[in-house]
Structure formats: structure tokens, C-alpha cells
Amino acid sequence: MNPGAPQQGWRSLGLHYFKFNAVGALGIGVQLLALALLVDVLRFHYLAANLLSIGLISILNFLISDLWIFRMRKIARTPDEST
């Protein structure tokens, strides 16, 4: 255990778990919305629309997770621990 690292208790672990699931649930909604938009409004073939919406949500989920969930881990690192 690193003495300089912040304590990871059950509350912190539960908060990370909640945030991770919230990002996943948001991703499901955005993916379905993008799929419906691409198929019904823009008249894409459903397989191409599915491919595009999955790609979009993968990038979006990564960015949200990186900025919102894992931000505190990056802040807690010291320069010599970043490698």
C-alpha cells in the first residue's frame, strides 16, 4: 500500500461502481437514440447504423469514464508514479 495514496474505502469503491454503471446506462440510451436517428431519420442500413452507433458510444463511454470516473486516480499520482 502506498502511504501517499488516498485511502480507498467502501464508500469510494461504491461511488466508482455507481459512476461506472451510470456511464454504461447513459451509453445504452445514447446508442439506442443514435441507432434510431441513423435508421429512421437518415435512412442508413440498420447494420451500418449499428456499427456507427456502437463506435460512437465506445468513444463517448471512454471519454466520460476517463474524465469523470478515473480523474481522481490521475490527480492522486505523483510524477514518479505516472509511468
**pLDDT digits 0-9 by tens, 17-59:** 899 899 999 999 999 999 999 999 999 999 999 999 999 999 9
Q: 53 near 38, Cβ under 8 Å?
A: yes
The span from the CA of 56 to the CA of 58, in Å, is 6
Q: 39 near 46, Cβ under 8 Å?
A: yes
Q: Count the alpha carbons within 13 Å of 38 in the hemisphere toward its beta carbon.
A: 18
pTM over 0.85: no
* H or E element in which residue 51 lies: helix 46-64
N-to-C CA span, the chain: 17
